[in-house]
Structure 1
């Protein structure tokens, strides 16, 4: 099977599963469709020769975040918290906004042309971990370290706020 056929098949599968996330009435089914969407996107990463991004996408998004979403959804009693149905005006406004967005996206896609990739400049090692590490710790070392300091400060702040709230509850 040719790569472009695989890409079209994966794209159709990704769009279909993303559409099912929106259409599905059951929130647990929506989360499962979203996990399937993440797996389809990971397959796109494999086609782009970015195996590291594929692994990170599966581990972080499909693994950790979606499991967290499932636990949160399962903690709620969904039978008790059924929202009232939306009014006709709300549905009409949503349809108008969605239609306008669709027309804008189609106009943008028709106006812009996507150039074909240059085959002679193709580098098969682009998405590999070694090259990613060289770029991350070479060209982007300062922003990488600043982000790590920012995360560290946020973590210390969360611990201090948690301890302060725990101390206040004891009094």
Structure 2
């Protein structure tokens, strides 16, 4: 995704990544998270990104190669860090013990935790997405007004 030349292709590659992550959740037998992954991320977030790409006309970026190289460099650094942590992390990880719980109880527990303990981060994330969308609309309107004046 970070090395795609066109923003729409990058968004489609992100969609494929989200569906692949959902498949990993299915293999881990966390079906609720797999469904949420497809509905929320692969459905809503990718559509939001596509609307943003269409509004700001991202093909006219002043430095597309620089941004692409910086994103690739950041992805490489993240992969190197993850590999280092995997190899030299001591072999222990945040693995929970496997327990057999009914799916309805897992979904209920997830919902209760999301809307009690994690309500503030959930609301902040929603406001950040709203602010980003309003910002894109304002930027596109300014660019449209400047383009119409010429």
- TM-score tier, shorter chain, comes to 0.5 to 0.7
Alignment of 1:110-121 (within 5 A): 110-112=87-89, 113-114=91-92
Cα distance in 1 for residues equivalent to 2:42 and 2:110? 26
TM-score (norm 1): 0.52
Please report how far the alpha carbon of residue 131 of structure 1 lies from its aligned counterpart in structure 2 after TM superposition. 2.6
Corresponding position of 2:48? 68
- Max Rg structure: 1
Please report how far the alpha carbon of residue 105 of structure 1 lies from its aligned counterpart in structure 2 after TM superposition. 3.8
Please report how far the alpha carbon of residue 36 of structure 1 lies from its aligned counterpart in structure 2 after TM superposition. 0.6
Corresponding position of 1:82? 61
Please report how far the alpha carbon of residue 86 of structure 1 lies from its aligned counterpart in structure 2 after TM superposition. 6.2
Instruction: Write out per-residue CA displacement over residues 14-51 of structure 1, whole angstroms, 9 at most, x where no aligned residue.
Output: xxxxxxx0111100000000011000000111111111
- Return 5+ residue gaps in structure 1 as ranges: 1-20, 159-171
Corresponding position of 2:141? none
Please report how far the alpha carbon of residue 83 of structure 1 lies from its aligned counterpart in structure 2 after TM superposition. 1.2
Cα distance in 1 for residues equivalent to 2:22 and 2:62? 34
Deviation beyond 4 Å, 4+ runs, structure 1: 97-104
Change (3 A) 1:51 1:76: same
Cα distance in 2 for residues equivalent to 1:60 and 1:101? 25
